[in-house]
Amino acid sequence: MKFFQKLNFKNGSKSTLDYNLRINNLNGILQALSINLVVPFASIYTKRLNGTDNDIALLNAYPSIFSILAVFLGTYLFRKFKNKKKVTALFFGLGRSFFLLFIFIPFLPAWLRPGLFVLLYGAMSFPNSIANMGWQSYLADLFPEKWRGRAFSRRSSLSTISALIVTLITGNLLYFIPKNDSQRMLLYQIFFIIAFIVAIFEVLSLIKHRLDRNNKQIETITEFKNESLIDSLKNISKLVISNKRFLDYCICVVIFHFAWQMGWPIFFTYEYDILHSNELWSSIIATVSSIFQALTFPLWQKLSEKKGNTFAIALAVLIMSITPFLYIVSRSIVHVVIFNVITGAAVAGTVLLLLSNLYESAPNENRTLYIGIYTVLTNITLMFAPILGMKLKGLTNIYIALAVVGILRFLSAVVFYLRYKKYKKASL
C-alpha cells in the first residue's frame, strides 16, 4: 500500500486528473502482466493436458457464451448498486481467482483435465466480462471527454509493451527450462501463482482511482419503478432503440466484427499450413505487431483529435481490410512479418477508436447498459464468424476465403465512412 500512497496528489480537479492518469497507466501495466502470464498459453496448455481439437474449439467458443450471459447480470448489478468501482474490483478479483483453480488441474484424473480446464477457462469470462463492462463505463466517469482518448492511448501503449515483454519471457522460459512434461506443468503452475499475485496489485490499483464529482460526463442512471431483472431488461431495450446514433454505430460494429473475426483462423491456417510457420515465427510476428501497435496508438489519437473519431475509425478499418490481401501475396513467412508493420498499426487504431466511438455514441445517461449491448453484439459475432470463415475455406480454398474476408472488411470500412459523412453533414 505504501507504493500506491507515493502516487498521491494534492486535492483539486487537475491534480485528480494527473493522479488518475498515473494510476490508470499502472493498472494497465499490471493487468497486462497478469493476463499475459496465462492467456497466450491457454491453447498449448490444453494440448499439454492431452486436449483434442474439439477442446481447442471449445476453448475459443466458451468465453463468448459466458460473456453474453454475464452482460445481462452485469447490467442489472451496475444499475442496482451504484458504486461501479467496488463492483468492478470485486468481479476482477473473482475472475483472476480462476488462475488458482488452474493450478489443481494436473492433480486430477487424466481424462478429466482438458475438459475441466476448458470449462473453467470459459467460465472465467463470466466475472471478467462483468468487470470489463464496469471498467469501460467507469473509465468514462474518471476522465472528461477530451481526455478519454489520451488516457486510453497512453494506457494501451504501456500495456502493449508490458504484454509483449512478459509473453516473450514466459514463452522462452516454458520452452528452454523444462526437461520433461512434469517440469513443464510445474512451471505453468508457478506462472499461475505469479499471475494471481500480480492480479492482487492490479485490483488494488483499480481501487485507488479517484472519482472527480466535477466531471460533467459522469453517468446518470434512469430509475425505473419496477427494478426486477426482466422488467429492467425491457426498459433497457426501449432506451437503446430510441437512440438512433448508438444503433447506427452498432450496425457498423456488427458488420466489422464479423469480417474481423472471420479471418482469425484463416490467417492462422495460412501461416502454419501454407507458409510452414512455427512457434519462433509466431513469436516474431507477435513482437513486430505489438511494437507497431505501441508506436501508433498516439498517432491514431492525434488523428482522432484532428479529424474526429468517426473519420479515424473508418480509416483504421480501411487499412485493416488490406491484411487478407497481404496474406494472399505472401510467399514466405518473412513477408507476413514485414506486413505486420501495417497490420499492427491498423489493430492499434481499431482497438483505440472502437472504444472512443462507443463513448461518443453512448450517452452519459445509462452508459453502462449501452456498453453491455455493445458487448453482447461483439460476442455474438465471435461465436459464429470464425466457424463460418473456416467453413468457407473448406467449401472453396484458402485464397478465396481470404479474398472474401478482405472484401467484407472493405465494405465495413465503407459503412463506417458513410456514418462519418452522415453525422458530419448533420453537424453543419
Q: Which distant-in-sequence residues (6+ apart) come within 8 Å of 106 by Cβ?
A: 49, 113, 185, 189
Residue showing cell 467496488: 86
Q: Are 232 and 28 a contacting pair, CB within 8 Å?
A: no
Spans of all domains in the chain: 8-209, 235-428
Element at 89 (helix H, strand E):
helix 84-96
Cα–Cα distances in Å, from 277 out to 46, 60, 296, 331? 20, 21, 26, 12
Average pLDDT over residues 182-209: 93
| Banded model confidence at residue 214, pLDDT cuts 50, 70, 90 | low
Q: What is the pTM assigned to this prediction? A: 0.77
Question: Is a pLDDT exceeding 90 seen at residue 65?
Answer: no
d(Cα 99, Cα 12) in Å, to the nearest integer?
39
Is 292's pLDDT higher than 70? yes
Residue 11: per-residue pLDDT: 42
CATH value of 235-428 in 2.40.33.10, 1.20.1090.10, 1.20.1250.20, 3.40.50.1370: 1.20.1250.20
- pLDDT for the residue numbered 216: 59
Predicted local distance difference test score (pLDDT) of residue 157? 86
Instruction: Give strand ranges (E) for 60-187.
Output: none
Fold of 8-209: Growth Hormone; Chain: A; (1.20.1250)
pLDDT band, very low/low/confident/very high, at 234 (cuts 50, 70, 90): low
The yes-or-no verdict on residue 278 having pLDDT over 70 is no
Q: What are phi and psi of 246, to 5 degrees?
A: -70, -40
Of these ranges, 51-55, 207-211, 261-265, the one predicted with the greatest mean pLDDT is 207-211
Looking at residue 192, its pLDDT comes to: 95
Question: 160 with 33: CB under 8 angstroms?
Answer: no
- Lowest mean pLDDT segment, chosen from 220-224, 245-249, 340-344: 220-224
User: In this structure, are residues 428 and 344 in contact, taking their beta carbons and an 8 Å threshold?
Assistant: no
| Residue-level pLDDT at 10 | 43
Q: Which of 374, 373, 371 is nearest to 257 (CA)?
A: 374
Query: At a CB cut-off of 8 Å and minimum separation 6, what does 409 contact?
Result: 256, 259, 260, 263, 317, 320, 321, 323, 324
- Please check whether the two domains, 8-209 and 235-428, share a CATH topology: yes
Highest mean pLDDT among 120-129, 130-139, 164-173: 120-129
Higher-confidence position of 355 and 175:
355
